[in-house]
Structure 1
Amino acid sequence: MSSGITLSASTRQNLLSLQDTASLTSTTQNRLATGLKVSSALDSPVNFFTAQSLSNRSADLGGLLDSISNGVQAIQAANQGITSISKLIDSAKSTANQALSTQITTTGTASTAFDGTAGGDVNFYINGTSKTATIAANATIDDAISALNTSAGSKIFSKDKTGEKIVLNASSDVEFEDTASQTLLGFTAGSGTAPDYGTSNTTVAQATELTVSGVDSRKKLAEQYNSLLTQITQLAKDASFNGVNLISNGDDTNKLHIAFNEKDTANLDIQGQDLTSDGLKLESITAGTAGTGNFLLDTDISSTLTKLGSATDTLRAASSTFGSNLSVVQNRQTFSKNLINVLDTGAANLTNADLNVEAANSQALSTRQSLGISALSLANQAQQSVLQLLR
């Protein structure tokens, strides 16, 4: 036998109203607690999945920002390397100019009078270039000087006030190939070690009457120049960031690839350049077969200065290229940050709750619940009257 509780229509209506209020209160409290008005696909499938898609893209772009940031730092490291190499190039120019301004001279007067009875060949070098003057037997001192100057290509030989001794006064390095060439002109045979002025020529020790100046100074400046080239190469190889070096290797394998979107359909490839001393076509100053080593010749120093000027132009062009690339990468970095903000805002607009509205709803529902309870109490007054009769 079934039994149940009979409620009046007004009581049932008030109970339903309280249940609806409780349900709304629960929803409002959940929104206040989570800050979301759409927390699952059940709340709003369109908004939920659209917001999820926007959030996923935002996360993908956020992951690319780290790669873009590393790219920016790699370019800045290369640019810093170029700036420092340029300073070393300027130092190399200063060294070469100093060598160019250092005058080389060879001076001296023979200790004995010229005796051309036997005659013979005088073999000597001017700044490493081989020269040979043939002095005929029984030649006078004037004949000998004429032959020597003709071979030298300039008037570097003369005679002293007595007219008997040969004088050498040259704005260059003059070395003799053999002792006989020295003594034939009246100079004493040299003793000790033969000069080493960066040439591959076979020479003998200078006569004691001859004084050479400037050559050793130029040699030391050439060594200083070579040291600067070594520093240029080492600096270029050290200008790396996170294993990426854009100025130490110019082949096709040395590229920096930066992706700007999650599908890599927007990207930038930055080609590395060889800015070492070899890449800049700067050669060390070494001993040459024609006396061109150790800054011995002004023409070779001028050629070196020309190469240094070309190296400077190369560095400036590289700096301009990297600067342009850096501007592009930084612009895309800023764009990606702003786009991430747009995507996150769009996702939030679809799913986030307005806490001000929900707080107001909570207060309104609380009031409604109180009113519903009062209404339920009024609806039960009729039954309470019956209870009074039973008492």
Structure 2
Amino acid sequence: MTGIVLSASVRQNLLSLQSTASLLATTQNDLATGNKVNSALDNPTNFFTAQSLNNRASDIGNLLDGIGNGVQVLQAANSGITSLQSLVDSAKSIANQVLQSPLGYSAKSSITSAAITGATANNLLGTTGTNATVTGTAVNNNLTSAVAITSATTLSGAANTDSLSSAISTGDTLVVNGTTFSFVAGSTSTGTNIGVGDTVAHLLSAIDTVTGATTASSVNSGKITLSTGTSQNLVISGTALGKLGLTAGTTNVGPPALSGETLTINPTGGGTATSITFGTGNGQVSTLNGLNAALAGNNLQATIDAATGKISITTTNDEASSTIGTIGGSATLSGAAFNGLTPAAPVADPNSQAQRASLVAQYNNVLAQINTTAQDASFNGVNLLNGDTLKLVFNETGKSTLSISGVTFNAVGLGLSTLTAGTDFLDNASANKALTTLTTASSTLRSEASTLGSNLSIVQIRQDFSKNLINVLQTGSSNLTLADTNEEAANSQALSTRQSIAVSALSLANQAQASVLQLLR
């Protein structure tokens, strides 16, 4: 080959033809692959930049699977919350049935006062009572004289005839409404020490001071009459009674009025202790409406018998299963309107309680479904309603993440507990208590649904962002490496034409040598 000598024109045309063939081969390769940069030799900068962009796009694309799974985990949890909300609403419906059921007791706990003369709904205090009196006998106004009693009126109202065996003497006593009057040597009165030589008038005056008598005690026609203050009973005793023609005992003034009396009632069920003062003063109670307002906080209500003036206090329907708390105050003392009263326990209605026990069973079944639904709300092993945590990675470096903490939304986690027949749903209060916890659970579910919705929105936005970013990266890579087919097709056509021309030029360059060859022939 080294012995072959080509003319300059032939050699130039040959080089041009070789260059054109190389360019044509490259163009055809670009058209075949669609890329103008197929290796680092084509364009090192574009090739490696495009490769980096494609690698990042691939890495983010791999993360999309995890993001997609995260979306499904959130949707599974959201679906679970929707079902739990429906179950809670079902439990509410059962509790509301309790409120609409017949009262679970044929009789509620109650107390009823003694008759109060003149008491009405607008005036619980009643009419003012009269003062109590008791009458004995004396023949003169001197305590030291022995007297004959011909007509003694005893506390029991019985008349008798006695003889006074002896005069009042030192050491004798007379007890009036708890105050003891002692007879001592001497003829003057000092406080509750009465001189045996003193006058009956002084004794009666001292007694009136203690009782607050509105009508003075007196001696009329030889008879001693003791009197008390308004609506106050008269209680007497002592060793001097027989000498005055009196008998120990109590004279009642009849049904007492309530003015000035107090009534306390310990907490009933979940109520607040009640303290009532009857009267017309500030903060005092004188009407049925006022009494009911005072009793409301202790789950109690009152009624009055218009015929007798008796006041009845009973538990409300909400606390029908409760017994009225222990009562106290001056209104419960001896002779008072509420004396000797012990609140009666409620009497259960078997049929109604059986119905309520059935509702308890239904309620517990719903709670069991709440537990299983919360356990089943998982996707790919992750359950955001059973305490699991979902962690999502959004970029190839692992620095862009989102952690979503799960919750425990079984019955206990929602603050709900199973009920016991015979203990729960006995009255409206227990049903209302269940409704309160269910309402709280419903609010908790709504709050978590909002949180999940917010997180789902974030994840979906990041999912769309990752898809768009992958497209941007791949587009950028393509811009660096992809060939313009129109341009390459035009180049191919031009190179083909150039190649044809080069072949023709090479042929012309060889014509001179062909002429020499013709001469040699």
TM-score by length of 1: 0.72
Query: What is the aligned partner in structure 2 of residue 232 from structure 1?
Result: 370
Does residue 215 in structure 1 map to residue 407 in structure 2?
Answer: no
Does residue 362 in structure 1 map to residue 496 in structure 2?
Answer: no
Query: What is the aligned partner in structure 2 of residue 278 from structure 1?
Result: 412
Unaligned runs of 5+ in 1: 109-125, 132-145, 154-171, 175-210
Equivalent-residue separation in structure 2 for 1:71 and 1:103 (angstroms) = 50
The SS at the match of 2:402 is strand
Q: 1:337, CA displacement in angstroms?
A: 0.3
The SS at the match of 2:456 is helix
Superposition pairs of residues 334-345 of structure 1, within 5 angstroms: 334-345=464-475
Equivalent-residue separation in structure 1 for 2:460 and 2:484 (angstroms) = 36
C-alpha change, 1:390 and 1:247, in structure 2 (3 Å) is same
Q: What is the aligned length? A: 299
Equivalent-residue separation in structure 1 for 2:29 and 2:384 (angstroms) = 55
Does residue 101 in structure 1 map to residue 293 in structure 2?
Answer: no
Equivalent-residue separation in structure 1 for 2:73 and 2:38 (angstroms) = 42
Q: 1:82, CA displacement in angstroms?
A: 0.4
Q: 1:388, CA displacement in angstroms?
A: 2.2
- Equivalent pair of 1:104/1:212 in contact (CA under 8 Å): no
RMSD of the alignment, in Å? 2.5
Equivalent-residue separation in structure 1 for 2:514 and 2:404 (angstroms) = 89
Q: Could you give the per-residue CA deviations for residues 87-111 of structure 1, whole angstroms, max 9, x where no partner exists?
A: 1111100000001211135559xxx
Q: 1:129, CA displacement in angstroms?
A: 5.6
Query: What is the aligned partner in structure 2 of residue 151 from structure 1?
Result: 343
C-alpha change, 1:3 and 1:219, in structure 2 (3 Å) is closer
Query: What is the aligned partner in structure 2 of residue 167 from structure 1?
Result: none
Query: What is the aligned partner in structure 1 of residue 64 from structure 2?
Result: 65
The SS at the match of 1:257 is strand
Superposition pairs of residues 128-207 of structure 1, within 5 angstroms: 150-152=342-344, 173-174=347-348
Equivalent-residue separation in structure 1 for 2:47 and 2:438 (angstroms) = 64
Q: 1:19, CA displacement in angstroms?
A: 0.4
The SS at the match of 2:391 is strand
Equivalent-residue separation in structure 2 for 1:105 and 1:286 (angstroms) = 15
Q: 1:219, CA displacement in angstroms?
A: 0.6
The SS at the match of 1:38 is coil
* One of 444, 448, 470 as aligned partner of 1:314: 444
Q: Could you give the per-residue CA deviations for residues 294-325 of structure 1, whole angstroms, max 9, x where no partner exists?
A: x1122111100000000001001000111110
- Equivalent pair of 1:39/1:48 in contact (CA under 8 Å): yes
Query: What is the aligned partner in structure 1 of residue 17 from structure 2?
Result: 18
- Equivalent pair of 1:173/1:215 in contact (CA under 8 Å): no
Equivalent-residue separation in structure 2 for 1:248 and 1:147 (angstroms) = 59
Query: What is the aligned partner in structure 2 of residue 300 from structure 1?
Result: 430
- Equivalent pair of 2:103/2:427 in contact (CA under 8 Å): no
Query: What is the aligned partner in structure 1 of residue 206 from structure 2?
Result: none
C-alpha change, 1:3 and 1:42, in structure 2 (3 Å) is closer
C-alpha change, 1:173 and 1:39, in structure 2 (3 Å) is farther
Query: What is the aligned partner in structure 2 of residue 91 from structure 1?
Result: 90
The SS at the match of 1:245 is coil
Q: 1:128, CA displacement in angstroms?
A: 6.2
Unaligned runs of 5+ in 2: 108-318, 325-337
C-alpha change, 1:107 and 1:352, in structure 2 (3 Å) is closer
Equivalent-residue separation in structure 2 for 1:82 and 1:274 (angstroms) = 11
Equivalent-residue separation in structure 1 for 2:509 and 2:403 (angstroms) = 79
The SS at the match of 2:350 is strand
Equivalent-residue separation in structure 1 for 2:374 and 2:471 (angstroms) = 39
- Equivalent pair of 1:128/1:292 in contact (CA under 8 Å): no
C-alpha change, 1:11 and 1:274, in structure 2 (3 Å) is same
Query: What is the aligned partner in structure 2 of residue 245 from structure 1?
Result: 383
- Equivalent pair of 1:99/1:301 in contact (CA under 8 Å): yes
Query: What is the aligned partner in structure 1 of residue 456 from structure 2?
Result: 326
The SS at the match of 1:240 is coil
Equivalent-residue separation in structure 2 for 1:298 and 1:235 (angstroms) = 29
- Equivalent pair of 2:378/2:384 in contact (CA under 8 Å): yes
TM-score by length of 2: 0.54
Q: Could you give the per-residue CA deviations for residues 43-68 of structure 1, whole angstroms, max 9, x where no partner exists?
A: 11111111111111000000000000
The SS at the match of 1:152 is coil
C-alpha change, 1:385 and 1:106, in structure 2 (3 Å) is closer
Query: What is the aligned partner in structure 2 of residue 268 from structure 1?
Result: 402
Equivalent-residue separation in structure 2 for 1:224 and 1:148 (angstroms) = 44
C-alpha change, 1:128 and 1:147, in structure 2 (3 Å) is farther
Query: Which residue identity does 1:237 align to in structure 2?
Result: Q
Query: What is the aligned partner in structure 2 of residue 180 from structure 1?
Result: none
C-alpha change, 1:22 and 1:280, in structure 2 (3 Å) is same
Q: 1:127, CA displacement in angstroms?
A: 6.6
- Equivalent pair of 1:96/1:305 in contact (CA under 8 Å): yes
